Structure 1
Amino acid sequence: MKHLSILVPRGQNNLSSVVGPFKIFNRANQYFEQAGKHPVFAIKLVGTGEKVDFYHGLFTVNVQRHIGEIDQTDLIIIPSLNHHYEEAIAGNEALISWIYRHYKSGTEIASICTGAFLLAASGALDGKSCSTHWAAAEHFRRMFPRVRLETDQLITDENGIYTNGGAYSFLNLMIYLVEKYYNRETAIFCAKVFQIDLARNLQSEFSIFNGHKQHDDEVIQEAQIYLEENYREKISIQELARKLNVGRRNFDRRFKKATNFTPLEYLQRIKVEAAKKFFENTRLNVNEVMYDVGYSDSKAFREVFCRITGLSPLEYRTRYNAYETT
């Protein structure tokens, strides 16, 4: 039987990402047993103390095994963290070292949402791709520049490391892992029991573009403000660079370094974010929204919108429009 370690870091408050994996993998084991098979995993809650409080002591998790007692484990699941990432890393140094040691010995690791901060702090993600909650992406990039962050991806799978996007999308990662370690039939069964949408593979449609302004390049901040205030107009990036007295190549390089986007990509995301709000809150049709955000080519608008959100403009409007759902 394989061993699954669900970590319970100190000082965290996201109980669902501890309980969720525990319930799903136990249910997968039960399904196997009912079919006359041996359960795949022995599942333990693992940490550095006997108990961890959640939500200011409202709930308490009893840790079943101390990390010092775990010589070998096949899969480690790191739950999501609260928003104090530096404190979480400082308060879980022994756990982070334990994660890295087991990864180097061949253990596979899955991080849930902002649990990627603990995983990245171990060094196991250096040079690799990962996902995390879109709202934490800018903070993550500043802290871990050697990690390739894939903000649009719901799940990443690379060299025995699995990560997922934000919040309850961890359920999709758990089903993904159930299929890997059990089989497709068990994954479908668990998806039906817990009512998890197997078709989801992107977190793009849920993200909110926040501008990426936590940097010190004042010229680029000025450019960002200009793009955000004038996105409906026909904007020449060449003219914008000239207006700011910066050469085009240098402007593109500085913009990419500061925001992680090229100026054109940034402008496209501003337009798409504005379009999403129109689709959510007005009765405007797709063409009306397209013109309102500065596009005149329906094919180009659709391609950009699909690439950024994972949905067509019509699909997004149908799914999220307040008037369509009431």
Structure 2
Amino acid sequence: MKHVSILLPAGDVVVGSIEGPHKVLTQVNDFLAGMGKNPAFKVELVGLQKSQTFTNGLYTLHAARTIDEDFQTDLIIIPAPHGDLAQAVALNHATLAWINRQHAAGAEVASLCLGAFLLAATGLVDGRQCATHWLAADAFRAMYPQVELVAEKVVTDAHGIYSSGGAYSYLNLMLYLVEKYVGRELAVLCAKVFQIDIGRHSQSPFTMFSGLKEHEDEPIKKAQRFIETNFQQRISVEELAALTYLSRRNFERRFKKATFNTAIEYIQRVKIEAAKMSLETSRDNVNEVMYSVGYSDTKAFRSIFKKITGVSPLEYRNKYSKVVAA
């Protein structure tokens, strides 16, 4: 039986990312009991103290153990902090040290959504892949450039260090862990009971691109504004470099440093974001949408659209169009 420690970190947290994993894992035990089998998990809340309040006092959670107690766990689950992420990291030095000690003794570690910021602060994913909520991707890259952020992924597994994408996609990570520890049959059963899409691997269809502008490079901001204002046109890197009075090489270097995207990637993402909005709200067909955002090659447009969103333009429209829904 695996001992699972769901953390109650210092500061505020998304309580659902504590209750949800607890519910899934204890439900697996109930399923196993119904089959006449032993439980797979001993699930405990572990905190800095025995009782902690969250969400402005709305919830009080009681820990079975504190990190000061002498025990060894098999899996640590880090929930999503709520609020200022840098402050959350600063408040949890003792918790991070405990995670590292437990990992050194053999424990695996899983972060849920923005819990990736606490996981990354341990150093355990340096040079490894990690996922988090797409909304926080730029902030994560800025804080942890040594980590390979894969913002499109729902689940990552770096040799027993796990992470999940945004919000309720932590449920996909829980199914992944159930399958890994207990088997496919129980994972599928959980997927059916909790109505979780067990086959979802990408959060790209949910991503809304908004170029990072919290930097001090004014020529690059000028280029970003030009792209976002003129996305209907064909825009070249040479044109942007000339606009900012920079050499192409210098422009491309500074653009990537400031925005975490190459200029070409940024242009594509702005165009595809506009195309997504059109597919959601207008009656234009796919070709009309393609032309409206500055593409003329149908194959290229569909290829770039699927690369960025994970689905084809038609699949995207069928899933998210307000017109189709009406």
**TM-score bin (small chain):** over 0.9
1:52 Cα shift? Answer: 1.8
Structure-2 separation of matches of 1:81 and 1:196: 23
- What is aligned with 1:308? 308
The question of 1:99 aligning with 2:99 is answered yes
CA deviation profile, 1:274-297 (whole Å, cap 9, x unmatched): 011111111111111111111111
- Amino acid in the other structure paired with 1:253: R
Residue 256 of structure 2 contacts residue 262 of structure 2 at CA under 8 Å; is this kept in 1?
yes
TM-score, normalised to structure 1's length?
Answer: 0.97
* Residue 21 (structure 1) aligned with residue 38 (structure 2): no
Q: Residue type of the partner of 1:203?
A: Q
Alpha-carbon distance between aligned partners in 2 of 1:135 and 1:56, rounded to the nearest angstrom: 23
**Cα distance, 1:200 vs structure 2:** 1.1
> Does the aligned pair in 2 maintain the 1:46–1:66 contact within 8 Å?
yes
Alignment-mate amino acid for residue 115 of structure 1: G
Correspondence for 2:44 = 44
> What's 1:118 paired with?
118
Q: How far did residue 208 of structure 1 move? A: 0.9
CA RMSD of aligned residues (A): 1.1
Q: Distance in 2 between matches of 1:268 and 1:16?
A: 35
Partner of 1:32: 32
- Give the fraction of aligned pairs with identical amino acids, expressed as a percent: 52
For 1:225, the equivalent position in structure 2 comes to 225
CA distance in 1, matches of 2:70, 2:135: 34
| CA distance 1:70–1:310, shift in 2 (3 Å) | farther
User: 1:71: Cα distance to partner?
Assistant: 2.5
C-alpha displacement at 1:204, in angstroms?
Answer: 0.7
Partner of 1:88: 88
Matched, 1:171 2:198: no
The 3-state SS of whatever aligns with 1:270 is helix
Whether the 8 Å contact between 2:223 and 2:243 is mirrored in structure 1 is: no
Q: One-letter code of the match for 1:125?
A: V
Aligned residue for 2:135?
135
2:254 maps to amino acid: R
Matched, 1:109 2:104: no
| 1:195 CA displacement | 0.6
Q: CA deviation at 1:242?
A: 2.2
Q: 1:86 offset after TM fit, Å?
A: 1.7
The 10-residue stretch of structure 1 (177-186 or 94-103) with the greater mean CA deviation from structure 2: 94-103
Deviations 1:160-179 (A, max 9, x none): 11111111111111111110
Kept in 1, the 8 Å contact 2:13–2:79? The answer is no
Cα distance in 2 for partners of 1:100, 1:284 equals 54
Distance 1:157 1:209 in 2: 25
Q: Which moved more, 1:101-110 or 1:185-194?
A: 101-110
Match of 1:319 in 2: 319
Contiguous gaps of at least 5 residues in structure 1: none
Please state if 1:197 is matched with 2:188: no
| Structure 2 gap ranges (5+) | none
Residue 225 of structure 2: SS of its match in structure 1?
A: helix
Deviation at 1:70, TM superposition (A): 4.7
Distance 1:82 1:41 in 2: 27
Q: Supply the AA of the counterpart residue of 1:296.
A: S
1:257 aligns with 2:257: yes
Q: 2:113 is matched by which residue type in structure 1? A: C
Distance 1:225 1:70 in 2: 56
Other-structure match for 2:158:
158
Return the offset for 1:123: 1.2
Deviation at 1:304, TM superposition (A): 0.5
Residue-by-residue CA offset, 1:203-247 (whole Å, 9 max, x unaligned): 111111111111111111111111111111111211221232211
Paired residue secondary structure (1:68): coil
